Structure 1
Amino acid sequence: MTLAGAAEERTVALDTTAVSVLLAWHRHREEERLAAGATPASTKADTAPVPLPRRM
């Protein structure tokens, strides 16, 4: 399998409803973190998505 093939297997298309739900969840989670005393995320690296596990 090529690297391009591996990347294509991990690509997920999201419709606008799924995107809006995920963004709302992320905002809610960030508000809870801040209410608990955490510092605001200052860089994109702080909020980067977790990579998917590799298939064997």
Structure 2
Amino acid sequence: MAVLKPFKGLRPPKELAKEIAARPYDVLSSEEARQEATKYSLLHITKPEIDFEPGIDV
């Protein structure tokens, strides 16, 4: 049986929250995600293909 333990969540500083937050990965195409992503955006994690040249199959 799995044992689940509570953990403390991470929250970005208020001034960076807008740059980090992202829409769900399944509502954006890769091109839309490239256009919306900022340096700190979670899109770099949920849609990693945005960091590669268009056309590269991830």
TM > 0.5 fold call: no
TM-score (normalised: structure 2): 0.24
When you count helix as a share of all residues, which structure comes out higher? 1
Give the greater-gyration-radius structure (CA).
1
